[in-house]
Amino acid sequence: MKNDKRKKIVGVVTEFNPFHDGHAFFLQEIRKKYAADYIVAVMSGDFVQRGEPAFFSKFERGREAIKKGVDLLVQLPVIFSLSGSRDFAYGSIKLLHELGFVDQIVFGSESGNLQRLKEITSFLQKEEENPDFQKTFRSYLAEGFSYPAARDKAIQSYFPDSILPNDNLGISYLRAIDTIHTKMEIGIIFRDKNFSSAHSLREKYREENQLLYADIERVKDYLFFRIMELERDEISLSTFQDVHPELAERIVDFMKDIEKKQLDLREIIKDLKGKNHTYSRISRALMHILLNIRKEDIQELKEKPYPYFRILGCSSKGEALLSSLPKNSIMRLGQYLKENQELMQNRSLKIDLFAGRIFQSIYPKSKDEFREFFIKI
């Protein structure tokens, strides 16, 4: 699979949750700064890295993205889209690398200083061998900082001019690029803070609309049933990704408290997180329990080639890339699975399809993804 050398293909990693003007600006700048002929986006599908269902469906978000500049849209498997920044970045970069025709990966940056980010990345690759760094890190933990905050402050003691944590995800991309040994070039676009963030847009939409989006509160009953089912079958919660033994014990104790169980799921997450973990980490852990994502699932998907590539759509120009896609690319789900029934046994795909079923049940405007047409604009 070879890229036509007269054309430049740039890959980006996205959630578009929801798509907004800042994303459109990002895509426009990529075309200007890096002379991109095609932009390939890896996008989270039904669940996102914060540990929640996506705000709108992947088809709605994907359609807006293709209208505004994406030429080929590929879904990131939920095993990675629900992961912390390291695995999220690794799975995304691995996917772009294994497509086989992406020339460059470009990401947004608060600092706009690629060399500085590379220096921090190089330092972090060796941090586990650095006793001074570990001592500094542990001292911040002892002061009561959460794990990620203590780590960021330890890094800042070595790189005082860095802007962590805002560039943390970019550093995760660089670490993944080093690990995978991809030949894709690297580029960054300065992130313009004048645009409203996806977070602020979600909050505004919550205030103005009558729950016409997928809300995490709607999975609460599913989650509680799942936990009771696991307890009945004597399956430890620590089997699941991001669920350490202490958290597993707290969840079990929580389930015994009838009054606490009446709280909204967001309040439950806040109650469970304690001081050493972020809200997102706990939310991801609970979604891993719900979707049956185990520690070995992530490791297997990291170590083996991608078993499939879910292609959600393309622009009319991006249609030229379809002939270069790997043979195990899925463009029309129902038709592909009829012809490749053995893929239905794949663990990652099973989790993707189950996540899709959960999403369809909680999203008011949802459609059966087996009947969704390939997006082409």
Query: 17: annotated binding-site residue?
Result: yes
Q: What's the rounded mean pLDDT across residues 155-160?
A: 84
**What integer pLDDT is reported at residue 163 of this predicted model?**
57
Q: Determine if residue 114 is left, alpha or beta; phi over 0 gives left, psi from -120 to 50 gives alpha, anything else beta.
A: alpha
Query: 240: annotated binding-site residue?
Result: no
**What integer pLDDT is reported at residue 282 of this predicted model?**
96
**What integer pLDDT is reported at residue 331 of this predicted model?**
94
Query: 225: annotated binding-site residue?
Result: no
**What integer pLDDT is reported at residue 162 of this predicted model?**
60
**What integer pLDDT is reported at residue 31 of this predicted model?**
97
Query: 334: annotated binding-site residue?
Result: no
Q: Determine if residue 109 is left, alpha or beta; phi over 0 gives left, psi from -120 to 50 gives alpha, anything else beta.
A: beta
* pLDDT confidence bin for 354, thresholds 50/70/90: very high
Mean pLDDT value across the chain: 91
Query: 26: annotated binding-site residue?
Result: yes
> In one letter, which amino acid is 133?
F
Preceding peptide of 165 cis, ω within 30°: yes
Tell which wins on pLDDT, 166 or 136. 136
Integer Cα distance of 206 and 204 in angstroms: 5
Query: 21: annotated binding-site residue?
Result: yes
Break the chain into its structural domains and give their ranges: 9-115+169-197+300-376, 127-164, 214-297
Tell me: the pLDDT tens digits for 218-262? 999 999 999 999 999 999 999 999 999 999 999 999 888 878 888
Q: Which parts of the chain fold into alpha helices (H)?
A: 21-34, 58-67, 78-81, 85-99, 114-124, 131-142, 147-158, 168-180, 198-208, 220-232, 245-255, 265-273, 279-291, 295-303, 333-339, 347-362
Q: What is the CATH number of domain 9-115+169-197+300-376?
A: 3.40.50.620
Tell me: the pLDDT tens digits for 73-125? 999 999 999 999 999 999 999 999 999 999 999 999 988 889 989 998 998 88
pLDDT at residue 211 is higher than 80: no
Integer Cα distance of 46 and 214 in angstroms: 9
Tell me: the pLDDT tens digits for 11-41? 999 999 999 999 999 999 999 999 999 999 9
Cα atoms in the Cβ-side hemisphere of radius 13 Å centred on 5: 0
* pLDDT confidence bin for 209, thresholds 50/70/90: confident
**What integer pLDDT is reported at residue 188 of this predicted model?**
95
Query: 80: annotated binding-site residue?
Result: no
Tell me how crowded residue 365 is: count the other CB atoms within 10 A of its CB.
11
Tell which wins on pLDDT, 162 or 78. 78
What is the distance, to the nearest Å, from the Cα of residue 107 to the centroid of all Cα atoms in its chain? 14
Query: 16: annotated binding-site residue?
Result: yes
Integer Cα distance of 17 and 2 in angstroms: 32
Tell me how crowded residue 128 is: count the other CB atoms within 10 A of its CB.
9
Q: What's the rounded mean pLDDT across residues 52-79?
A: 97
Query: 194: annotated binding-site residue?
Result: no
> For the chain, give me the number of helices (H) and strands (E)?
16, 10
pLDDT at residue 320 is higher than 60: yes
Tell me how crowded residue 140 is: count the other CB atoms within 10 A of its CB.
19
Integer Cα distance of 270 and 262 in angstroms: 14
Q: Provide the whole-model pTM.
A: 0.93
Query: 24: annotated binding-site residue?
Result: yes
**What integer pLDDT is reported at residue 126 of this predicted model?**
81
Q: Is 154 helix (H, G, I), strand (E, B) or coil?
A: helix
Q: What's the rounded mean pLDDT across residues 168-177?
A: 93
Q: What's the rounded mean pLDDT across residues 267-274?
A: 90
**What integer pLDDT is reported at residue 1 of this predicted model?**
42
pLDDT at residue 373 is higher than 90: no
Query: 14: annotated binding-site residue?
Result: yes
Both tokens of 73, joined, read 């849209």
**What integer pLDDT is reported at residue 226 of this predicted model?**
96
Query: 165: annotated binding-site residue?
Result: no
> In one letter, which amino acid is 317?
K
**Whole-number percent of the chain with pLDDT over 90:** 72
pLDDT at residue 4 is higher than 60: no
End-to-end distance of the chain based on CA atoms, in angstroms?
25
Query: 25: annotated binding-site residue?
Result: yes
Tell which wins on pLDDT, 32 or 159. 32
